[in-house]
């Protein structure tokens, strides 16, 4: 299915541009228990999909441009997310005053940065003011929910969870300090000598960093994706001295492992495990899917528009808002926690995940179409 997805995208490209993850999800649904029944949930594939999700967040962390957080863009991205989480929690409290309120609130305030980055890169927008604004919004929209999950949805109460989170932050800060303190280019010189050999030190180093920080997250009982995201930040700092062509070569190898293998497994497996039957058994739930998408646009999209580049036109602001409202990985992660803990009904989780799928199908393509009209 991962092989078939890019072929479908290429076949449809003369008429419509749809993100590849849409087809990975849809093909997973088709071969899953909901349709053909060729594949089903398994412990091995669930583990592999979790590694793919961790790799997706690693890539997102490694693409963070800290320059985008300076000044107006960074302040507005953070302010917009705080508005989103407040409104999302308010809606969650209205829908379910119990434990599901936090889960609903976190799902509504997330942004799928790892999904948006390849779209921005393919469009040549990654370093443009528009791309930097979306990157800042996405970084806050992934990092903020991860912190919220770790504090409010762990096995501990919020107080001890915060203490544990501080411990993780200190370890992460030490790793970042070590990466910044390395002699100028020392790490990269060794990376460069193995770039085209069987040593492939860069790839091995990436997986050591990823495994170490994910394992630390699990040991401290905080969300593993926080460790994966932090590992990406550390790696970016380690590679800060590399020349752009050589850095691109290393990134290409990492992305080959991520987007050529592990990340597609996550999206296809998400489709396989998607509970389509829960929606079809209660047809009115299907009507809630587009309604939930509208809620995403209100809760996350409108506040995201605050971080649009200075002097942006209303079209560009709308495009930024549409990108900010695109979400899925965090939604999948947080709803899985809700269902496993028994506070979120599977049908509600299916509605949220389906809306997330719909956001990926519609919003980025619409945003980029609007963006092309601006330019």
pLDDT at position 261 is: 92
- Cα-Cα end-to-end distance for the chain: 35
- Determine, yes or no, domain membership for 63: yes
- Determine, yes or no, domain membership for 205: yes
Query: Residue 184 pLDDT more than 60?
Result: no
Q: Write the pLDDT tens digit of every residue in 211-265.
A: 998 998 888 877 788 888 888 888 887 777 667 777 778 888 888 889 899 999 9
pLDDT at position 137 is: 92
3-state secondary structure of 149: helix
pLDDT at position 98 is: 67
* Most confident of the following: 59-63, 64-68, 236-240, 296-300: 296-300
On whether the CB atoms of residues 199 and 253 are closer than 8 A, the answer is no
Dihedral of alpha carbons 84, 56, 226, 350, sign: positive
Number of residues written out for the chain: 375
**Domain around 318:** 21-34+41-258+270-374
CATH number of the domain that residue 74 is part of: 1.20.1530.20
On whether the CB atoms of residues 63 and 229 are closer than 8 A, the answer is no
Using alpha carbons only, give the angle 222, 227, 228 rounded to the nearest 5 degrees: 135
- Determine, yes or no, domain membership for 4: no
pLDDT at position 39 is: 92
Confidence band for 158, pLDDT divided at 50, 70 and 90: low
How is residue 69 annotated by DSSP? G
How far apart CA 230 and CA 235 sit, in angstroms, is: 9
- Determine, yes or no, domain membership for 2: no
How far apart CA 107 and CA 85 sit, in angstroms, is: 9
Confidence band for 85, pLDDT divided at 50, 70 and 90: very high
Q: Who's near 96: CB < 8 A, 6+ residues apart?
A: 104
Q: Write the pLDDT tens digit of every residue in 119-138.
A: 888 778 877 888 888 988 99
- Determine, yes or no, domain membership for 3: no
- Determine, yes or no, domain membership for 10: no
- 363 or 192: which carries more pLDDT confidence? 363
Number of compact structural domains in the chain: 1
Using alpha carbons only, give the angle 144, 365, 139 rounded to the nearest 5 degrees: 15
Query: Residue 186 pLDDT more than 70?
Result: no
Report the percent of the chain where pLDDT is more than 70: 91
Min mean pLDDT across 66-75, 296-305, 332-341 is at 66-75
- Determine, yes or no, domain membership for 173: yes
- Determine, yes or no, domain membership for 172: yes
Scored b (16 or more CB within 10 A) or e, 139-166 reads bbbbbbbbbbbbbbbbebeeeebeebbe
On whether the CB atoms of residues 349 and 289 are closer than 8 A, the answer is no
Q: Write the pLDDT tens digit of every residue in 292-336.
A: 999 999 999 999 999 888 888 889 999 999 999 998 888 988 888
| DSSP letters for 268-327 | HHHHHH--HHHHHHSHHHHHHHHHHHHHHIIIIIHHHGGGSPTT--HHHHHHHHHHHT--
On whether the CB atoms of residues 17 and 238 are closer than 8 A, the answer is no
How far apart CA 58 and CA 55 sit, in angstroms, is: 5
């Amino acid at each position: 299915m991962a092989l078939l997805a890019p072929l479908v995208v290429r076949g449809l490209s003369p008429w419509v541009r749809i993100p590849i993850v849409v087809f990975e999800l849809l093909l997973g649904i088709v071969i899953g228990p909901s349709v053909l029944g060729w594949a089903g949930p398994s412990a091995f594939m669930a583990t592999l999909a979790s590694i793919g999700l961790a790799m997706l967040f690693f890539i997102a962390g490694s693409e963070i441009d800290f320059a985008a957080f300076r000044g107006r863009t960074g302040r507005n991205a953070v302010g917009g997310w705080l508005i989103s989480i407040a409104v999302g929690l308010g809606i969650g409290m209205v829908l379910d005053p119990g434990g599901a309120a936090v889960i609903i609130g976190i799902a509504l305030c997330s942004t799928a940065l790892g999904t948006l980055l390849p779209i921005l890169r393919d469009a040549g927008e990654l370093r443009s003011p528009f791309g930097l604004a979306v990157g800042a919004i996405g970084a806050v929209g992934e990092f903020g929910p991860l912190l919220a999950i770790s504090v409010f949805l762990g096995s501990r109460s919020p107080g001890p969870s915060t203490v544990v989170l501080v411990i993780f932050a200190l370890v992460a800060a030490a790793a970042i300090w070590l990466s910044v303190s390395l002699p100028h280019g020392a790490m990269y010189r060794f990376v460069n000598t193995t770039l085209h050999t069987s040593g492939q030190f860069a790839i091995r180093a990436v997986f050591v960093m990823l495994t170490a920080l994910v394992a630390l997250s699990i040991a401290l009982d905080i969300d593993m994706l926080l460790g994966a995201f932090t590992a990406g930040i550390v790696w970016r700092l380690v590679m800060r001295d590399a020349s752009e062509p050589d850095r691109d070569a290393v990134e290409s190898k990492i992305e080959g492992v991520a987007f050529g293998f592990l990340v597609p497994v996550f999206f296809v497996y998400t489709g396989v495990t998607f509970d389509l039957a829960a929606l079809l058994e209660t047809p009115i739930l299907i009507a809630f899917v587009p309604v939930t998408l509208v809620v995403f646009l209100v809760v996350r999209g409108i506040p995201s528009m605050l971080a649009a580049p200075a002097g942006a036109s209303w079209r560009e602001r709308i495009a930024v808002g549409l990108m900010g409202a695109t979400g899925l990985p965090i939604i999948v992660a947080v709803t899985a926690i809700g269902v496993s803990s028994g506070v979120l009904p599977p049908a509600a989780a299916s509605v949220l995940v389906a809306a997330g799928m719909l956001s990926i199908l519609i919003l980025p393509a619409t945003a980029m179409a609007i963006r092309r009209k601006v330019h």
